[in-house]
Each structure stands twice: as C-alpha cells, then as structure tokens.
Amino acid sequence: MNQDQLKLAVAQAALDYIAPKLAANSVLGIGTGSTANFFIDGLAALKSQFKSAVASSEASAKRLRGHGILVQDLNDTNGLDLYIDGADETNANLELIKGGGAALTREKIVAAAAKEFVCIADESKQVETLGQFPLPVEVIPMAREYVARELSRLGGTPIYREGVITDNGGLILDVEGLSITAPCELERQINQITGVITNGLFALRPADILLLGTASGVKTLKASD
C-alpha cells in the first residue's frame, strides 16, 4: 500500500470507529491536512447522523461545507464530542507533533474542547522520540526574530516558513534538530516565550486513541500499548 492508500484506510477506520458514537446533537471537531481530507470526504455519508462540525482551519471548513455539512463556530457549541485529526509525528504515549499544515493553534483549541481525540496517521508518523519532524511554532509577526533567538537557546534551529500566514495572522517557525525526550516540559517552556502563540507539541493534551495505518492493516493503539 502506498501512503495515500494507508491514509484512506485509517480515515475509513475512523469513520467506522465514530459511527456508533454519533447522535443527533453530536458536534465533531475536524482537523486539517491530507489524512483529515480523506476523513472529511468519507464523513459526507454520515452527515445525517450528527448535528455539525467545528473545523480547525478555513480549508477544512470549506471542504466540509462542500459536502453539505454544517460548520459551526466553537463559541456556538457546548464543546465537542469527538476530534478527529492527523499528526506529523506520534510517540508511544500518543504525544504528537502537529502543525505541518500551519493550523496548530486552532487544532490545539479544538483538541482541548473535545471529550475524545482520535488521531489518524500512517505508520511513517510513528517514532520513538519526537523531533525528527521540525517542530512548528506559531508566533506574532513582530516577535519572530526574538522568538527565534530564544528557540535557538533551547538547542533547536528555527527556520522561518516563508510565505505562510496562519488563519490567525501568525507566522510559523519550524524548529529543526530537537530530540524531544520530555514533551510536556518543552511544550510549556516554549509557550512561555513572549510572542509565541502556541507550539505544535500535543503532549499536555495528547490523543486518546491512535488509528495507525500499516501494511498489515489498521492498528488501534492507546498510550504505551
């Protein structure tokens, strides 16, 4: 199976997983990225079985609306039943790196508001230690160089992602060269840098379940399985 086939398989597994959990008043959080897109396309067949969705990006909102799915603002809900999204990296504790699609801040908000976070990824995203994928950090534009200097002091090499402006008007620094052995600690440390909006570590709020696409089928994993 190629990578797209693995993504399609985990998207279908996620649809099968959430279908029995849906009710007429269910509100779903929907992520951003290529794997999430496969999920959104499949979700169209279930749109009569839940109320609405909250999207983590304008791109996902547009795709959901294109399938006739009601998209709500998070402020107009009482929280989310499920959040379904991909990841750029995951470890055995289901701590993640996200933000390759520059939607990390809204993804983190949606994850925080959800009762259950279902991560969908292919086996190439599973690592022993986070950090092989550059860690995205969203920053307020005027603080870009200051934050970059502070990130360098933490041992990483921040690279400005040129030409990218997030849905929040922020900029992205991708931090290379990190070996993240204490994800929760680093997540807090980076978020305390003045000018940082948030970073792409999802360790304080990790995934609850991981549906991992492999050559031998989709595996269902929980933390430290």
Residues 16 and 122 in one domain: yes
What does the pLDDT average to over 93-115?
97
Judge if 68 and 98 occupy the same domain: yes
CATH number at residue 191: 3.30.70.260
Rounded CA separation 210/197 (Å): 26
Whether residues 37 and 97 share a domain: the answer is yes
| 117/147 same-domain check | no
Identify whether 95 is a catalytic site residue.
no
Q: Which two tokens stand for residue 187?
A: 């997540």
Number of domains in the chain: 2
Pair 87, 180 in one domain:
no
Q: Are residues 144 and 163 in the same domain?
A: yes
- Write the CB contacts of 152 (distance below 8 Å, at least 6 apart in sequence): 158
pLDDT greater than 80 at residue 109:
yes
Q: How far, in Å, CA of 144 to CA of 138, rounded?
A: 9
For the cut 80, the answer to whether the pLDDT of residue 179 exceeds it is: yes
Confidence of residue 1 (pLDDT cuts 50, 70, 90): confident
Residue 86 assigned as binding residue: yes
- Provide the edge-to-edge strand list for the sheet that holds 201-202: 89-90, 96-97, 201-202
How confident is the model over 66-97, as pLDDT tens digits? Answer: 999 999 999 999 999 999 999 999 999 999 99
Q: Give how far the C-alpha of residue 171 lies from the chain's centroid of Cα atoms, to the nearest Å.
A: 17
Q: Are residues 173 and 118 in the same domain?
A: no
Contact 15, 36 (CB under 8 A): no
pLDDT confidence bin for 123, thresholds 50/70/90: very high
Q: Which of 95, 107, 138, 187 is catalytic?
A: 107
Which is nearest to 28 in space by CA: 87, 88, 86, 69? Answer: 69
Domain interval for residue 61? 3-127+204-221
DSSP-based three-state secondary structure for 18: helix
Per-residue pLDDT averaged across 166-189, rounded?
97
Question: Based on the domain organization, do 109 and 216 belong to the same domain?
Answer: yes
Same domain, 99 and 116: yes
The verdict on 209 and 190 lying in the same domain is no
Amino acid in position 153: R
Q: Is 170 marked within a binding site?
A: no
Query: What's 7's domain CATH number?
Result: 3.40.50.1360
pLDDT at 131 over 90: yes
Question: Does the annotation flag 194 for ligand binding?
Answer: no
**For the residues of 61-79, what is the DSSP string, one character each?**
HHHHHHTT--B--GGGSS-
Same domain, 112 and 44: yes
Residue 120 has pLDDT above 80, yes or no: yes
